[in-house]
Amino acid sequence: MPRPIVARIHTHALAHNLAVARACAPRSRVWAVVKANAYGHDIAHAFPGLKQADGIALLDMDEAVRLRELGWTGPILLLEGIFEMRDWEVVEAYGLTTAIHHEDHLRMLAERRPTQPLPIYLKMNSGMNRLGFTPDAYRDAYARARDTSAIGPITLMTHFATADGPQGVSAQMTVFDQTANGLPGERSLSNSAATLWHANAHGDWVRPGIMLYGAAPSGIAADTAGRLKPAMSLVSRLLSVQTLRPGDTLGYGATFTAKGAMRIGVVACGYADGYPRTAPEGTPVVVDGVRTRVVGRVSMDMLTVDLTPCPNAGVGAAVELWGTQLPIDDVAQACGTIGYELMTAVTARVARVSDDTSPTV
């Protein structure tokens, strides 16, 4: 028998969350962002839930090819553009749309003669200072792109740094609007946070990622509770149960000491599955439907939980590390991180299993 840990992918939840994104931005088209192997959900498992998107956005060439092999014939956007010269062949062969964020991209494209002019997303650095042409350089880059025969339709693109927080998007919006003023082309600005919370930034195409997977862009479960549904449940089982006596310690480093007699459950899930080793004592976990806590140090293949609130849980009891019973944001918050990191960290040895092959959208 395989180890009992599995990442259940909820197709219906993906479809639901995509519909929420659409309802948030009813006048925009939606790029469903599936980079990082669909935020750890596996592209093949996420795709059936995201088929209603207008386009699918990602980073890796091989993920784009996989998506075509899965039968997706709609638009695919390469969010970081191309990485080397020969990537242009993939772009042309598979009909991809690519971000252009750098001088080199424009220079390389000037030398190509594609059979059809390539649609591009011309990226402006409106303040995040990672990728894109600075406002000073943007209009010149636009003019050169327009005059490059290899380039077809140009969409104006930027990315927000603080759409999920109190600073919001207004400073970057101002830079973007001033710089883009009068330039023809569609606009694409909004990640999940801006899709959810900044209607003035929706433009022609929104680019939600994390919200499709049911986590809050802000990292606070309450911010999207009741609106989004978790698309992954990381589940496992108890392999063993130990009874500690007062003063007994638990696991590597003996970091936990029992104050009184207590039962401990040993869960088949460790950091080699992607569960953070840094999860502190008290990190929430659900056993047998009851919320309890991690105690002791997370090891490679196992972690240990307090069974005090679940007296009936024995070997084989169901464990949910996060998912429909426990928001991933709650676990992430306890671990000092965000849902994005937890879901993308689930390792390859954890099987992804779709629990629903017929989405209701």
Ligand X SMILES: *Cc1c(COP(=O)(O)O)cnc(C)c1O
Catalogue the active-site residues.
Answer: 35, 252
33 is a site residue for ligand X (CB under 6 A) = yes
- Does 132 bind ligand X (CB under 6 A)? Our answer is no
Q: Is 159 in the site for ligand X (CB under 6 A)?
A: yes
CA–CA distance, 190 with 205 (Å, rounded to integer): 8
Return the bridge partners of 304, or none: 266, 295
Enter the tokens of residue 331.
Answer: 């676990």
Residue 94 has φ and ψ, to the nearest 5°, of -105, 5
Question: Residue 205, SS3?
Answer: strand
Residue 242 buriedness (CB in 10 A; 0-12 / 13-18 / 19+): middle
Nearer to ligand X, 8 or 207 (CB): 207
Assess 105 for contact with ligand X (CB under 6 A): no
| Minimum CB distance to ligand X, residue 212 (Å) | 8
Using CB under 6 A as the binding rule, whether residue 109 contacts ligand X is answered as no
For ligand X (CB under 6 A), the number of binding residues is 11
Does position 192 interact with ligand X (CB under 6 A)? The reply is yes
Total Cβ atoms within 10 A of residue 5: 23
Asked if 325 and 289 touch (Cβ cutoff 8 Å), the reply is yes
Shortest distance (Å) from residue 215 CB to ligand X: 9
Instruction: Using CB under 6 A, pick the residue from 10, 207, 297, 352 that binds ligand X.
Output: 207
Which among 276, 284, 279 is positioned nearest to 326, based on CA atoms? 284
When the beta carbons of 127 and 265 are compared against ligand X, the nearer one is 127
Distance of CA 58 to the CA centre of its chain: 11
Question: What letter does residue 133 receive in the DSSP assignment?
Answer: B
Out of 208, 214, 219, 359, name the contact with ligand X by CB under 6 A: 208
Report in angstroms the alpha-carbon separations of 183 from 14, 176, 260.
35, 11, 70
Q: Which is nearer to ligand X, 209 or 284 (CB)?
A: 209
Residue nearest ligand X by beta-carbon distance = 209
> Which of 55, 132, 203, 209 is close enough to bind ligand X by CB under 6 A?
209
Check binding of 179 to ligand X (CB under 6 A): no
Tell whether residue 79 is a contact of ligand X (CB under 6 A). Answer: yes
28 touches ligand X (CB under 6 A): no
Q: Which of 333, 332, 326, 285 is nearest to 309 (CA)?
A: 285
Q: Shortest distance, CB of residue 293 to ligand X, whole angstroms?
A: 28
Residues at the interface with ligand X (CB under 6 A): 33, 35, 79, 159, 191-192, 207-210, 217
